[in-house]
């Protein structure tokens, strides 16, 4: 397929090219240049802008059934892995109902231009298999980070309890069925646990410095910061870092592939706002996630808009919207070390066709600002994953 005369955001810097041709073959971007001549089917795209498909770098879509339950409760009462309402919901709801709402969230993400999402899946191997069956026949790419349901009490952390043998076996089995592990946090895991998880060969991710409370608990319990302890996991990336210190950020920039921030989820829990200017200053690779569906909608357009405005409002200084768009695309592809999140030769053809003449966008005087704070599902003519149109039409 050849897309003729299309505007694109090209390469890892999302460089705006006003008009070019794009050849898509075997699910990839094959060639991008002016006037490609070929006998393949050609489509005139002169009113369209091609941008990379969004990567939602952190979700828990299993709790889609719990939308806006107990909105007045504190973080732990809502989503703590041992005592939270969410855990009770996941355990007590029939699988069929969980599955129905997981599927709805995945469908909603596709319509909103999300072509890949990274899900933290609770419930051990059964939890992973349930997510996989819910996503059957849906084209969205999903990176599943599972976990075994094993959490340490404060006393067990102080005694540095090791991971029981039967759980090590469970972990091996689990990792054969998913892309890596998603750990709830250091405050539920002994050093020995974290070191056992660190030996696994796939992706290793962990929530860290999400709340002031979790930061203080770590200090009180172990004398170390959450981030210092999270490093025992040798994490591929960390989630949140809302209350990370400068030293934490230095450690993370040097030793991991990135930080996933979830600004709307943090705000919805009345916890705080991640400081992306500081993260950038220390050279961290920043990506964006929408976190629990229970507390936030899985919509990257809304996440980008919110993040851009709240950052400038709080810091009283300008922030480049192109950097925000990179967090939802290029940076996440880099964090996953996969050929996604970027319109470039030999990358997977995961992309969105934005209507430049749509009511909300025309005239697009600043293409990055337009996408970050004006575009929505209404501005997308079509969503493509792996070279196939999976929603809308050209």
- The residue ranges that bind Zn ion (CB under 5 A) are 291
Q: Closer CB to Zn ion, residue 171 or residue 183?
A: 183
Task: Compare residues 248 and 291 and give the one whose CB is closer to Zn ion.
Answer: 291
Show the CA angle centred on residue 206, arms to residues 306 and 71, nearest 5°. Answer: 50
How many whole angstroms separate alpha carbon 162 and alpha carbon 145?
A: 22
Q: Are 355 and 39 in contact (CB under 8 A)?
A: no
**Smallest separation (angstroms) from Zn ion to the CB of 356:** 35
- What is the β-pairing status of strands 114-121 and 54-60? parallel
d(Cα 238, Cα 253) in Å, to the nearest integer?
11
Q: State CA 59 to chain mean position distance.
A: 6
For the bound state, the minimum distance from the C-beta of residue 175 to Zn ion, rounded and expressed in Å, comes to 20
**Cα–Cα distance for residue pair 157/162, rounded to 1 Å:** 9
Cβ nearer to Zn ion, comparing 182 with 321: 182
Residues 266, 268, 272: CA angle, nearest 5 degrees: 40
C-beta separation of 33 from 3 below 8 A = no
Q: How far is the CB of 298 from Zn ion (least distance, A)?
A: 12
Please, which residue, 52 or 289, has the CB nearer to Zn ion?
289
Give the helix ranges, DSSP H, for the chain. 75-79, 85-92, 95-111, 124-134, 154-158, 165-175, 191-198, 212-222, 226-230, 246-255, 263-268, 276-281, 300-315, 321-327, 330-336, 367-373
Measured from the CB of residue 351, what is the shortest distance to Zn ion in angstroms?
27
CA distances for 152 relative to 75, 161, 194, 264, angstroms: 19, 8, 11, 29
Q: Residue 120 Cβ, how far from Zn ion at the closest point, in Å? A: 5
> Which candidate, 158, 249, 239, 254, places its Cα nearest to that of 204?
239
Give the nearest distance from C-beta 239 to Zn ion in angstroms. Answer: 6
Shortest CB 353 distance to Zn ion, Å: 31
Cis? peptide before 363, omega within 30° of 0: yes
Cβ neighbours, 10 Å, residue 304: 22
Considering the complex, state which of residue 6 and residue 55 has its C-beta at the smaller distance from Zn ion: 55
- Nearer to Zn ion by Cβ, of 206 and 384: the residue is 206
Residue with CB nearest Zn ion?
291
How far is it, in rounded angstroms, from Cα 24 to Cα 265?
Answer: 36
Is the CB of residue 111 less than 8 Å from the CB of residue 391?
A: yes
Name which of 291 and 303 has its Cβ closer to Zn ion. 291
**Residues 6+ positions from 376 with CB-CB distance below 8 Å:** 112, 301, 360
Task: Name the residue nearer to Zn ion (CB basis): 80 or 257.
Answer: 80
Q: How far is the CB of 183 from Zn ion (least distance, A)?
A: 10
CB of 151 to Zn ion, least distance (A): 15
Q: How far apart are CA 8 and CA 32, in angstroms?
A: 10
Measured from the CB atom, the residue of 207 and 334 that comes closer to Zn ion is 207
* Least Å from the CB of residue 274 to Zn ion: 13
Pick 21 or 119: Cβ nearer Zn ion = 119
Rounded-to-integer distance, Cα 173 and Cα 166, Å: 11
């Amino acid at each position: 397929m050849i897309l003729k005369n299309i505007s694109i955001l090209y390469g890892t810097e999302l460089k705006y090219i006003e008009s070019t041709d794009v050849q898509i073959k075997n699910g990839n971007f094959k060639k991008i240049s002016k006037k490609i001549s070929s006998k393949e089917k050609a489509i005139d795209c002169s009113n369209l802008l091609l941008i990379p498909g969004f990567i939602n770098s952190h979700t828990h879509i299993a709790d889609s059934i719990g939308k806006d339950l107990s909105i007045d409760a504190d973080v732990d009462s809502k989503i703590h892995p041992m005592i939270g309402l969410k855990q009770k919901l996941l355990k007590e709801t029939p699988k069929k109902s969980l599955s129905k709402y997981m599927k709805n969230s995945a469908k909603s993400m596709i319509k909103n231009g999300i072509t890949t999402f990274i899900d933290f899946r609770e419930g051990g191997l059964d939890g992973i298999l349930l997510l996989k069956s819910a996503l059957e026949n849906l084209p969205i790419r999903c990176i599943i980070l599972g976990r075994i349901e094993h959490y340490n009490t404060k006393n067990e952390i102080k005694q540095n309890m090791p991971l029981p043998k039967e759980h090590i076996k469970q972990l091996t089995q689990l990792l054969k069925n998913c892309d890596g592990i998603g750990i709830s946090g250091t405050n539920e895991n002994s050093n020995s646990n974290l070191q056992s998880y660190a030996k696994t060969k796939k992706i290793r991710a962990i929530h860290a410095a999400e709340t002031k409370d979790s930061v203080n608990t770590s200090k009180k319990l172990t004398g170390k910061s959450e981030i210092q302890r999270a490093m025992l996991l040798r994490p591929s990336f960390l989630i949140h870092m809302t209350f990370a210190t400068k030293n934490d950020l230095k450690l993370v920039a040097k030793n991991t592939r990135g930080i996933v921030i979830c600004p709307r989820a943090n705000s919805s829990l009345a916890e705080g706002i991640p400081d992306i200017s500081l993260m950038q200053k220390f050279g961290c690779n920043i990506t964006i996630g929408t976190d629990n569906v229970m507390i936030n909608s899985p919509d990257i357009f809304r996440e980008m808009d919110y993040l851009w405005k709240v950052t400038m409002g709080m810091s009283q200084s300008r922030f480049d919207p192109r950097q925000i768009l990179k967090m939802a695309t290029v940076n996440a592809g880099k964090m996953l070390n996969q050929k996604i999140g970027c319109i470039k030769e030999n990358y997977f053809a995961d992309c969105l066709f934005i209507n430049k003449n749509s009511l909300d966008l025309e005239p697009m005087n600043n293409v990055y600002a337009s996408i970050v704070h004006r575009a929505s599902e209404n501005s997308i003519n079509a969503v493509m994953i792996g070279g196939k149109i999976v929603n809308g039409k050209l």
